[in-house]
Chains A and B, each alone.
Chain A
Amino acid sequence: MTVAVEFDGVSKSFGDVQAVNNVDLKIADGEFFAMLGPSGSGKTTCLRMLAGFEIPTAGRILLDGADVSGLPPYDRDVNTVFQDYALFPHMTVAENVAYGLMVKKVGDKERRTRVDGALALVHLEALGARRPAQLSGGQRQRVALARALINRPAVLLLDEPLGALDLKLRQEMQLELKSLQREVGITFIYVTHDQEEALTMSDRLAVFNHGRVEQVGTPAEVYESPRNPFVAGFVGVSNIVEGALATRLRGNPMPFTVRPEKITLSDPAIDPPEGSVFIDGTVVEATYLGMYSRYRVDVDGAVLLVAGQNLDVDHGEVGATHGRRVRLHWNSRACRPLSESPAATDNIPTAGAVD
């Protein structure tokens, strides 16, 4: 892969607070890369360091192989879509979009053509003369995109760009952003705290926690094989099994995780299939959620979460499972060992992970 962006041992502290702690990352050219993590995990600080709004305390940031760590934002070939869009209120939509060309003294004629092109790209051809205040949230979002893309940056940075939109619009924009990225072929780095968004949109993602990268991989890799309890719990929902129960199920006390949807709920009288791990328990809670039902099953004092697809369920049946003795079984492959100390994991992505 051609590396577009590289974080090389990057740290950043604000006074006593260590916001980013020794982050190593390689992001491929043309990749849709998500930085996922709870608030305060350092993902936004990483993005801001790449944009040039913050200078790293230690380490280097490389853009197309060149060290840009100390360069001001206006000397970097990256553009940002801000969380609050940061559209200039005293300019029209077209003037906002043209801003980058204006400061680079691009000629009038070319400027007009490119502004029209950028507005067409985000389906806002008709709104060039409006002021940002006259637009809806979704339209502002598109203007911010057009403004950032018109400079044809090597990398586009997006800081929680959909955070201010309502759910339906957000889902629409997710798909649109993804297809836009394919269309323009620019590397997108997308910061979000929404794991679903990261899984839906990204080619690869990095999970941040306490200023460190916990895991890097494709959405399927991170979801299916979380490295540690934090990733297992933050990306999706998971059961973390440790101690005596782990020993009983797998013969050793090493902690492992198993996703709720991998577990099948069956009658205790039925023998589980070959090669599966099984245990009996009592349903303490059953919640019907339409496509699937969620069960909490008490297994010798520990509670396991089970998601059962409602393939063959009549109404009333889900609730009736409450208090029933059940057998839980799952393929032993679904048990994913976890490293005990999350921070100690090596997080440099493998070169083969990117197509």
Chain B
Amino acid sequence: MRLALLLGVPLFWMVGVYGGSLAALLVQSFFRLDSFAGTIDRSPTLATWRDLFTDANMSVAARTIGMASSVTLASIVIALPLAYFIARHASRRTKAVLVLAVMIPLWSSYLVRVYSWKLILSADGIVNWFFERLGIGGLLDAVLALPAIGGPSLSVSYIGQFLVFVYIWLPYMVLPIQAALERVPRSFIEASADLGAHPATTFRKVVWPLAIPGVAAGSIFTFSLTLGDYIIPTVIGDSSPFIGLAIYSYQGVAGNLPLAAAFAFVPIAVMGLYLFGAKRLGAFEAL
């Protein structure tokens, strides 16, 4: 009885509130918007799903998935050495300071941070100033002149968007990897060296496989948070829509709730595929 009480509330929350709204979303996606009347036609139809698979919507999805993948990869590359240092080499004091430094940005307002980045990256912002001062302003211009990912200034380019995404989600990558590496006993690394492995081999054969669960957890965060975000694409970049923004405008501006619901399943499907792939590659075997 007490067990039922204890588990009942979270169970209700997970199954009822969370699962229920997902189910409602799914049901909703089989309705359609009557564009003349502006009302929702509640007879089951696949028309909304057909609307989802238009080129315009698919390019929104592709753009978002492309950005989420690059952000995730970059976060792994940046977070791994940092997490390794925090977990294995830093003294207790340095460790505390570094973990705090990773977490502090999470305590300040997300909006403030994104708008600060808009100023930092703008044409007359500090990054431009810095490049000019170093006399390599031409390099920045050359990078910005790149097709597709460039733009008139960092703050209205995909590069700028990418930088801000990486900055914002990086802590969600560092912390799980650090936790995973923290659980690798020193003796594993010593044993590997003892058996003749150079540090690079030890990293490849022992540290990396044991860090993968952390990398997987971190990438679920960075990937899904980027997939769903609609603030950064609005503030930074050239305003080309991302999935989050598309959903927002479909349900808010256009009132097309069914299409917004169908669109909401894109990130869920992508995450499902991603996890399935990671499992197949053995990412969770060391768990």
Give me the interface of A with B, judged by CB distance under 8 Å. Answer: 51-53, 72-74, 78-80, 82-84, 86, 88-90, 99-100, 102-104, 147-148, 151
Contacts and interface: CB of A to CB of B under 8 A. Distances in A.
B286 A151 contact: no
Given A90-B286, A103-B201, A51 B188 contact: no
Contact of B187 (A78, A86, A102): A86
Given A88-B206, A90-B210, A79 B187 contact: no
Nearest to A150: B195
Nearest to A53: B190
Given A84-B187, A86-B185, A86-B191, A74 B210 contact: no
B210 A72 contact: no
A151 B188 contact: no
Contacts of A99: 192, 195, 197, 205
B202 to A, nearest CB: 9
A86 B188 contact: yes
Given A86-B185, A89-B210, A89-B286, A104 B193 contact: no
Which 3 A-B pairs give the minimum distances between C-beta atoms?
Answer: A86-B187, A100-B195, A86-B191
Interface string B188-223: 101111111110010001100110000000000000
A53 B187 CA distance: 10
A74 B188 contact: no
19 contacts: A51-B190, A53-B194, A72-B193, A73-B190, A74-B193, A74-B196, A79-B194, A79-B195, A84-B185, A86-B191, A89-B286, A90-B209, A99-B195, A103-B192, A103-B196, A103-B197, A103-B205, A148-B194, A151-B196
Contacts of B34: none
B285 interface: yes
Nearest to B208: A90
B135 to A, nearest CB: 43
Given A84-B185, A90-B285, A73 B194 contact: yes
B191 A82 contact: yes
A95 B190 CA distance: 17
Contacts of B190: 51, 53, 73, 80, 82, 86
A80 B285 contact: no
A63 B201 CA distance: 25
What class of interface size applies to chain B in its complex with A?
10 to 19
A317 B187 CA distance: 54
A263 to B, nearest CB: 45
A131 B194 CA distance: 21
A318 B181 CA distance: 59
Interface in B142-193: 185, 187-188, 190-193
Contacts of A73: 190, 193-194
B126 to A, nearest CB: 42
Given A72-B193, A99-B195, A147-B195, 13 more contacts: A51-B194, A52-B193, A53-B193, A73-B193, A74-B196, A80-B191, A84-B185, A86-B187, A99-B197, A100-B195, A103-B192, A103-B195, A103-B197
Contacts of B193: 52-53, 72-74
A147 to B, nearest CB: 7
Contacts of A72: 193
A80 B194 contact: yes
A329 B31 CA distance: 104
Contacts of A82: 187, 190-191
Contacts of B210: 89-90
Nearest to B198: A74
Nearest to A157: B194
Contacts of B187: 82-84, 86
Contacts of A86: 185, 187-188, 190-191
Contacts of B197: 74, 99, 103
B195 A151 contact: yes
Nearest to A98: B195
A53 B205 CA distance: 19
Contact of B196 (A51, A83, A89, A104): A104
A83 B187 CA distance: 9
A159 to B, nearest CB: 9
B199 to A, nearest CB: 8
Contacts of B185: 84, 86
A74 B193 CA distance: 5
Contacts of B201: 103
Among B191, B196, B205, B210, residue most surrounded by chain A Cβ atoms (within 10 Å): B191
B206 A100 contact: no
Contacts of A148: 194-195
